[in-house]
Structure 1
Amino acid sequence: MARRTQSRFIFEVVENSRIFRHQFFVNGSRRAECNTCENHVPVSEPYNHHWRNDIKNQKSYYIQMGLPEKQILKTIEDQAIEEFILCDGSIAARTNDFLLDAGMDAVPQLLRFLSFGTEKLEATVGFYVDVKKERMYYESSPINIENHLDIGEAVDMIFSMLLEKISNYVLLHHRVPLEACVIRRMKVTVKRFCHSPKANSFSVSKIPLQYRVKNAAECFESANNKSSVELAKLAETYLNQKDQGRPIPATLKVNLYIFRVCNTSKELYAVPYLLHGEDVENTPTFIIQTDVVGGFQGLLEIQNIRKFLREDTKDRVFECRQCQSHFVDRVHLALHKQISCGRNFMVWHMDKDAIELHENCLPLPKEYFKYEWIGLASKRI
């Protein structure tokens, strides 16, 4: 029997404290409690006091964007930079270490930075591969990323499929396993689709893919279905409470939820931020959307909060009808379909001794990115 890992998130009241816990289960039996999620507040405090330090504590998912970082982003926009080269100068030389650091840290960090101020990103990833005496370049098809909380899953899917393609290719044409390949260089191409200047200041981006693909389409109602005055008033009340410490009046019967990410398991989940209505069927309920720096983006009304929060507990496998690949997660299946099962991935054969020359290169500051990214400008300023 395969090990099936699940988790749950609970609030527990002990004496005068309310404790938030994240518990892991294997085949239905509890095995561990997550110590990176657990936190305590007095039972009389509102739920949002559990999440006061989210931006500081969840650095893997929220970034800092001060004046120097905004200037870097402006330079990227002015020079129309869409291609970024990552070399092995700042990552361990072994292929496995390079891929691990690039997939877990370097590429997600770059994409989170580039997602600031955008509605979506269109990202393509390419690996430079040396095998025997040959050099090849493998490139994925583009994938759309419409919420910064989807970046980790999207990068993981592209890396997995690229490595599967490379493995199959070298096994067929060179009769060697993937372990015989050397990968120490990669290119990421990113097209940024920025917010329209005319966009409503309280308009929301799409919710994370995990919540878009679950069977809960009827859970959501576009914020446009609410009057703009009503939404603006609620948003202003929320911002005053958050920024100026003013409590949301108890007379305002509304329930608010936010998204969080577990620092240990990287799971995304929704938790209560404010509960002012016990009648969940009739109390207006909203999910708070935030951007990649933790700034307020808007509110999305949830019509069926129970279904929205409920996990899919059925032990099932999802099959792609096009290629018969199997997945245990709807998100992975949706990403797999978006890149057409990898059918449009490309491979180029290169002269191993060839040297690439690029003009107008922009080295991204290592003190911010930690890795040696080089932006390739398409025009001068």
Structure 2
Amino acid sequence: MARRTQSRYIFDIEDNYRVFRHQFFVNGARRADCTTCENRVPSSEPYHHHWRNDIENNRSHCIQIGSKEKDILNRIEDQAIEEFILCDGSIPPRTNDFLLEAGMDAVPQLLRFLSYGTEKLEATVGFYVDVKKERMYYESSPLNIENHLDIGEAVDMIFSMLLEKISNYVLLHQRVPLEACVIRRMKVTVKRFCVSSKSNSCKLPLQYRVKNATEVNGKGSFKYSTDLAKLSETYINNKDKNQHIPATLKINLYTFRVCRTSKELYAVPYLLRGDDVENTPTFIIQTDVVGDFQGLLEIRNIRKFLRVDTQDRVFECRQCQSHFVDRVHLALHKQISCGRNFMVWHMDKDAIELHENCLPLPKEYFKYEWVGLAGKSI
């Protein structure tokens, strides 16, 4: 039987304390508790006290942006910088190490930085590949990233499909496996779509968008009507002053967390005021890549929103018959058209690329050496 790993998040009451736990299961049997997610507060405290001081959790998916970083972003915008080269000197030279560190750390860190102040990113990844005596450049098609919490999954999908394309190509034309290729350099092209004054919407992470839980359920819409702007103002004022939200406000609020161990994204209670989940207005708190409040989005079917698909299931792409065990991976796969528009160029191996108006990104902020290629000079 195939090994099936799952996890769940629960609250336990122990000696007047409410304990939050993340538990791992293998084939239905509990194997371990996640130590990085567990925390406890007095059972009389509101749920958000579990998360308000959880600084380490915020660091796992949020970044810090100061005045120097904002100046860099302004220069990127002013100089129309959309192409970024990852210098191979900052990562161990072995291809496997390069790809692992680029996919897990370097590219996600760059995209999180560039996502600050944007509604979405359009990202394209390219690998410079040496095989035998040839040099080629493989490039993905653009992928839209509409929530910073989708960056890890999006990068993983692009890398996986690029490596699959490279493997198939070199096996067909050079008669060698992927292991014969040397990859020590890459380029990431990113178009930033900055937040406009007319924009008043923020997208859910793709993992939750595919559930369609914000749609009205079969019983019709809620009778309750609320002013989102006023509700958001109430939330911000009480959060900033570290006060309780007025007891007269009968709503349920949830917030997103990311497990530092497994990197899983999940939704947890922030404020629960109504047991009747069918009729109590329920909202998810949206935050940007630095953790600042973006807005509240109403969830019409909270059970569907929180439910984890516990059944073994394989999703098939109708276009190319590829199989996936996750709806998010299938959705990303469809966004890049099954990889049909990926490109490959043959290059002169001895050619030297010269670029003017380069912008090295600050080493004190970035773990790896990125250089932005300006589209115009100032």
TM-score interval, normalised by the smaller of the two chains: over 0.9
In the other structure, the counterpart of 2:87 is 87
- Letter in structure 2 aligned against 1:167: S
Tell me: CA distance 1:226–1:177, structure 2 relative to 1, closer, same or farther (3 Å): farther
Whole-angstrom distance in 2 between the partners of 1:268 and 1:53: 18
Tell me: CA distance 1:54–1:75, structure 2 relative to 1, closer, same or farther (3 Å): farther
In the other structure, the counterpart of 1:146 is 146
Instruction: Deviation per CA, 1:29-50: give whole Å up to 9, x if none.
Output: 1111111111111111110011
Match of residue 370, structure 1, among 343, 354, 367: 367
In the other structure, the counterpart of 2:268 is 271
Confirm or deny: 8 A CA contact 1:204 1:299 kept in the other structure.
Answer: no
In the other structure, the counterpart of 1:357 is 354
Report whether the alignment pairs 1:44 with 2:44.
Answer: yes
Report whether the alignment pairs 1:293 with 2:285.
Answer: no
Task: State the Cα distance separating 1:87 from its structure 2 match.
Answer: 1.6
Tell me: CA distance 1:148–1:380, structure 2 relative to 1, closer, same or farther (3 Å): same
Q: Mean alpha-carbon deviation: is it higher for 325-334 or for 36-45?
A: 36-45
Task: State the Cα distance separating 1:197 from its structure 2 match.
Answer: 2.3
TM-score (norm 1): 0.95
Whole-angstrom distance in 1 between the partners of 2:216 and 2:6: 23
Confirm or deny: 8 A CA contact 1:4 1:27 kept in the other structure.
Answer: yes
Confirm or deny: 8 A CA contact 2:57 2:259 kept in the other structure.
Answer: no
Instruction: Deviation per CA, 1:72-96: give whole Å up to 9, x if none.
Output: 1011011110000002111111110
Percent identity of the aligned residues? 83
Confirm or deny: 8 A CA contact 2:124 2:188 kept in the other structure.
Answer: yes
Whole-angstrom distance in 1 between the partners of 2:190 and 2:224: 36
TM-score (norm 2): 0.96
Whole-angstrom distance in 1 between the partners of 2:357 and 2:38: 48
Match of residue 320, structure 2, among 323, 326, 333: 323
Any idea what SS the aligned residue of 2:141 has?
coil
Q: How many residues align?
A: 374
Any idea what SS the aligned residue of 2:227 has?
helix
Whole-angstrom distance in 2 between the partners of 1:111 and 1:72: 14
Instruction: Deviation per CA, 1:123-156: give whole Å up to 9, x if none.
Output: 0000000011100000000000000000000000
Task: State the Cα distance separating 1:186 from its structure 2 match.
Answer: 0.1
- Letter in structure 2 aligned against 1:170: V
Whole-angstrom distance in 1 between the partners of 2:265 and 2:252: 20
Q: How does 1:1-381 map to 2 (within 5 A)?
A: 1-199=1-199, 203-214=200-211, 216=213, 218=215, 230-381=227-378
Instruction: Deviation per CA, 1:188-247: give whole Å up to 9, x if none.
Output: 000001111233xxx331100011112646368xxxx99998212211111112111121
Task: State the Cα distance separating 1:56 from its structure 2 match.
Answer: 4.2
Aligned CA RMSD, in angstroms, stands at 1.6
- Letter in structure 2 aligned against 1:300: L
- Letter in structure 2 aligned against 1:245: N
Confirm or deny: 8 A CA contact 2:25 2:31 kept in the other structure.
Answer: yes
Ranges in structure 2 where 5+ consecutive residues have no aligned partner: none
- Letter in structure 1 aligned against 2:191: K
Tell me: CA distance 1:378–1:226, structure 2 relative to 1, closer, same or farther (3 Å): farther
Whole-angstrom distance in 1 between the partners of 2:121 and 2:161: 19
Whole-angstrom distance in 2 between the partners of 1:330 and 1:57: 25
Whole-angstrom distance in 2 between the partners of 1:209 and 1:165: 25
Tell me: CA distance 1:227–1:112, structure 2 relative to 1, closer, same or farther (3 Å): farther
Whole-angstrom distance in 1 between the partners of 2:127 and 2:26: 36
Confirm or deny: 8 A CA contact 1:219 1:305 kept in the other structure.
Answer: no
Any idea what SS the aligned residue of 2:215 has?
helix
Instruction: Deviation per CA, 1:138-197: give whole Å up to 9, x if none.
Output: 000000000000000000000000000001111111111111111000000000011112
Any idea what SS the aligned residue of 1:127 has?
strand
Any idea what SS the aligned residue of 1:191 has?
strand
- Letter in structure 1 aligned against 2:294: Q
Whole-angstrom distance in 2 between the partners of 1:246 and 1:58: 21
- Letter in structure 2 aligned against 1:344: N
Whole-angstrom distance in 2 between the partners of 1:324 and 1:87: 37
Ranges in structure 1 where 5+ consecutive residues have no aligned partner: none
